[in-house]
Amino acid sequence: MNWNLLLLTLVGQTVPGAPAAPAAEGASVIALVAHAGPVVKGVLALLVLASVVSWAIIFLKYLLLRRAHQESEIFLKIFWESRQLDEIYRSSKELVHSPLSEVFSAGYNELARFRSRGDDFTAAEQGEVSKSRMSAAKENVSRALMRAMREQVTKLERAVPFLATVGNTAPFVGLFGTVWGIMDSFHHIGLTGQASLAVVAPGISEALVATAVGLFAAIPAVIAYNFFSSRLRAMESSIDSFSSEFMNILERHILL
């Protein structure tokens, strides 16, 4: 046994005449992507784009929902402390991100349209207003509230389904890139006739990067989608409760 060679190997020195170990940067992710095939590169580009868009949606939607919640709390305080609809309406114009404020404005504007036509439903005038006109006023205000509620819910939910799409499809897109890369590696093996680990490992490593990137894009999207869905359900319930309460107030005190 050549004890000199064994000693050099144990201390980590290069054995004379032996092939040099590949550089550390050769095994980096960037190097793997650079040597990947065109199909795998296309899959990676698609996944990176989906991840960037997902993070943009997560950031912007978080800010939007937080501001909507804060302004809705302010609006509810104004609504329950004030006794004049006109005063509430003027205050609500400054709370442009509150869905409750928008729903209130829709009902108030519909009521104002009836009043502008002379249908001011007060206790002193209710005897002059027919029951059919009163019923029409209630139906129109109720429809305006429902329409505004649907519009606000749709606005809040905008772009959130994209997160679900990324979370469901990104792993499979990454898997497609991996399978394609492995197929390409085996095809190269068939052409060269060499099946050693040194030949197979680089191609498979390049292919597996696609699966990793797919998971990197999918996991945050799924977490964010579940988080936003929970917040949206709570906000939708709050909007529905406020709409019903506001309509009850109108029926008791104005639409008599």
| DSSP secondary structure, 126-151, as one string | GGGS-HHHHHHHHHHHHHHHHHHHHH
- Cα distances from 132 to residues 64, 126, 127, 163, 174, in angstroms, run 42, 12, 12, 48, 63
pLDDT at residue 96, rounded to an integer:
86
Joined tokens for residue 56: 């943009």
Q: Give the burial class of 120: count Cβ atoms within 10 A of its Cβ; 0-12 exposed, 13-18 middle, 19 or more buried.
A: middle
Pairwise CA distance, residues 226 & 236, whole Å: 15
pLDDT at residue 194, rounded to an integer:
60
pLDDT (average), residues 137-165? 90
Residue 180 lies in a domain: yes
Mark 10-20 as b/e (b = at least 16 C-beta within 10 Å): eeeeeeeeeee
Q: What is the mean pLDDT of the chain?
A: 78
Please state which of the ranges 46-60, 160-174, 195-209, 229-243 shows the lowest mean pLDDT.
195-209
| Percentage of the chain lying above the pLDDT 90 cut | 38
pLDDT (average), residues 40-44? 82
3-state class (DSSP) for residue 185: helix
Band (pLDDT 50/70/90 cuts) for residue 181 is: confident
Polymer length of the chain: 256
pLDDT (average), residues 51-75? 94
Band (pLDDT 50/70/90 cuts) for residue 200 is: low
Residue 246 lies in a domain: yes
Pairwise CA distance, residues 22 & 10, whole Å: 18
Residue 145 lies in a domain: yes
pLDDT (average), residues 240-246? 90
| Percentage of the chain lying above the pLDDT 70 cut | 69
169 alpha carbon, distance to own chain's centre: 15
pLDDT (average), residues 178-192? 72
Angle formed at CA 40 by CA 194 and CA 162, multiple of 5 degrees = 155
Residue 16 lies in a domain: no
pLDDT at residue 8, rounded to an integer:
37
Indicate if the pLDDT at residue 153 is higher than 60.
yes
pLDDT at residue 191, rounded to an integer:
64
Under DSSP, the state recorded for 24 is G
- Cα distances from 165 to residues 7, 18, 71, in angstroms, run 57, 51, 30
The boundaries of the domain holding residue 190 are 38-253
Residue 22 lies in a domain: no
Residue 65 lies in a domain: yes
Please state which of the ranges 33-37, 117-121, 225-229 shows the lowest mean pLDDT.
117-121
Residue 78 lies in a domain: yes
Residue 2 lies in a domain: no
Pairwise CA distance, residues 144 & 121, whole Å: 18
pLDDT (average), residues 18-33? 50
Tally the domains of the chain. Answer: 1
Q: What is the pLDDT of residues 94-137, one digit of tens each?
A: 888 999 999 999 988 888 887 776 545 554 444 544 566 777 77
